[in-house]
């Protein structure tokens, strides 16, 4: 994917991270299952058998995946309408979008959906390169308020009112 990068760092490739994560998941499934107490009064298999099977299979696939990546195998990065597949991955952007999302998660219950949701939209559109700040802010507020009214008042879905409790 990024030939210069893989050359520079020798055997390390970014995909190795994902392969090792899969391996870790396999080990975790096995280790986590060992703690599960087997009930005594069950006919047939207990709650451990299937997870051990799956954990074992994941670990085996994980080992093959790691080997494949180290030997230089790779998949095709997904193509999409808005993707520049040849561009190097911009991790800063991913971090920015992720940060905005996590901040939204932390603030949602206190601020309520209308404010937190509007801030989420505003933050993300700026992070993704929206040029008009004012327009982005207006759309954000309209969407935040509109979804709240439509889903809470219209469809009866449960969203937090937060600071605006009693106002709308």
Partner 1 sequence: MDSLQLLLDGFASALTPINLLYALVGVTLGTLVGVLPGIGPAMTVALLLPVTFTVPPASAFIMFAGIYYGGMYGGSTTSILLNTPGESSSMITALEGNKMAKRGRAAQALATAAIGSFVAGTLATGLLVVAAPAVVAFAIAFGPEDYFALAILAFTAVSSVLSRSVVRGLASLGFGLAIGLVGIDQQTGQARLTMGIPQLFDGIDVVIVAVGLFALGEALYVASRLRHVPPEVIPVGRAYLGRADWARSWKPWLRGTALGFPFGALPGGGAEIPTFLSYATEKKLARGVAREEYGKGAIEGVAGPEAANNASAAGTLVPLLSLGLPTSATAAILLAAFQQYGLQPGPQLFDHNPALVWGMIASLFVGNAMLLVLNLPLAPLWAKVLHVPRPYLYAGIVMFAALGVYALNASAVDLIVLFVLGLLGWAMRRFGLPVAPAVIGMILGPMAEIQLRRALAIGAGEVTVLIKSPIAIVLLLLSALALLTPLLRKLMARRRGERITPGSHPE
| Binders of partner 1 in range 38-67 (CB under 8 A) | 39, 42-47, 49-51, 54-55, 57-58, 61-62, 64-65
Place of tokens 């210069």: 4
Instruction: Say if CB 127 and CB 140 are below 8 A apart.
Output: no
Q: Which two tokens stand for residue 135?
A: 């327009």
141 touches partner 1 (CB under 8 A):
no
Min separation Cβ 8 and partner 1, Å = 19
- Whole-number minimum distance, CB 89 to partner 1, in Å? 5
Q: Minimum distance from CB of 155 to partner 1 (Å)?
A: 5
**How many residues bind to partner 1 according to rule CB under 8 A?**
86
Decide: 162 and 111 in contact? Cβ < 8 Å.
Answer: yes
What is the x/- site pattern for partner 1, positions 101-140, by CB under 8 A?
A: xx-xxx-xx---x---x--xxx-xxxxxxx-----x--x-
User: Comparing C-alpha atoms, which of 132, 93, 101, 135 is closest to residue 119?
Assistant: 101
168 interacts with partner 1 by CB under 8 A? no
Residues 6+ apart with CB under 8 A from 84: none
Closest by CA position to 101, among listed 124, 118, 122: 124
**Closest CB to partner 1 among residues 7, 40:** 40
């Amino acid at each position: 994917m990024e030939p210069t990068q893989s050359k520079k760092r020798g055997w390390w490739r970014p995909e190795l991270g994902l392969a090792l994560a899969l391996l870790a998941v396999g080990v975790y499934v096995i280790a986590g299952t060992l703690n599960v107490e087997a009930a005594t009064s069950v006919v047939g298999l207990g709650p451990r058998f299937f997870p051990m099977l799956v954990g074992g299979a994941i670990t085996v696939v994980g080992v093959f995946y790691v080997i494949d990546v180290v030997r230089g195998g790779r998949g095709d990065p997904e193509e999409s309408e808005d993707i520049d597949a040849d561009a190097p991955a911009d991790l800063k952007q991913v971090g920015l979008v992720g940060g905005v999302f996590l901040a939204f998660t932390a603030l949602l219950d206190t601020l309520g959906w209308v404010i937190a949701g509007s801030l989420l939209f505003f933050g993300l559109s700026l992070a993704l390169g929206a040029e008009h700040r004012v327009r982005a802010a207006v759309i954000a507020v309209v969407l935040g308020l509109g979804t709240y009214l439509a889903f809470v008042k219209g469809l009866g879905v449960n969203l937090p009112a937060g600071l605006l409790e009693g106002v709308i």
